[in-house]
A and B are shown apart, each in its own frame.
Chain A
Amino acid sequence: MKTNEEAKRKYEEMVKNASPNSPILKNCVIAFFSGGLICTFGQFLLNFYQNNQFSAEDAATLTSVTLIFISSVLTALGIYPKLGKHCGAGTIVPITGFSNSVTSPAIEFKKEGMVLGVGAKMFLVAGPVLVYGILASMLVGVFYYFGGR
């Protein structure tokens, strides 16, 4: 309990110290370039797969899978979290951030076991994303089916 409170205090201090040093404009510029570069790399992969006789849809899926793979490896090596500290939303918003949000807790909670640790905590962030994504897609589907076609 004590260490918990200590950690909390330390964290709050960290936030206080970090906040004035991270002006929003600078953050946005970094997010723009880092996020933009990840998308540019995605475009490179997309073109690469399309030039290798994959259909547009398959090429898009393969691009996502490749980015997810790279991000998962970088997360396992501890590199992606370091990038994330500097790049903010630039590394959170792309699909690589989604992959990081799956891999990171899977590693973090492996001590709690394969089922309730790795299996459950994997979806700590991705779970809500999927829940609301699926619900939104069904909402779209209902409107499309009854009205929009």
Chain B
Amino acid sequence: MIETLVWIALALGVIGVYLSWTAGRLDRLHTRMDAARAALDAQLVRRASVVLEVATSGVLDPASSLVLYEAAHAARQAEEDHREVAESELSQALRAVFADADQVEAVKAAPGGEEAAEELAAAVRRVPMARRFHNDAVRAARALRRHRKVRWFRLAGHAPFPLAFEMDDEPPADLADRPA
């Protein structure tokens, strides 16, 4: 009798340690996801501000400037549930405006334009990077959270179910391309 109880207690103890370890793992994944989300946020905001700067600097023609300004402004003001669409539209606007390699040259030719073009190129390249890292973290967290042990013992607590950030982040070819 005692022996059985001891065994049961031991088994419960082992299960407890395992669950506690899993909870720690999940906690770390949530931390990683939050950091990735913050990094993605930072890159998106950075891209929008560089675009605003270029749009208001007057180096581009007024029509292109207006298109870029509109899109960047909308992306910055977007509510959370509209953000993916607004950021995708900014990507599309960038691709439309910089479809022509001469536009890139025009920006570079302006005083201080070289740095602006470089900053813009860096920003459009880093957004897809940050988004991939974010979605990778989301996938890892979701995989663990869907596991039986996590669902049955409610190890995730009240943390919201992680959602990927889906958007069109294809950079304009002429801007992001490597030196030929």
Partners in one complex: no
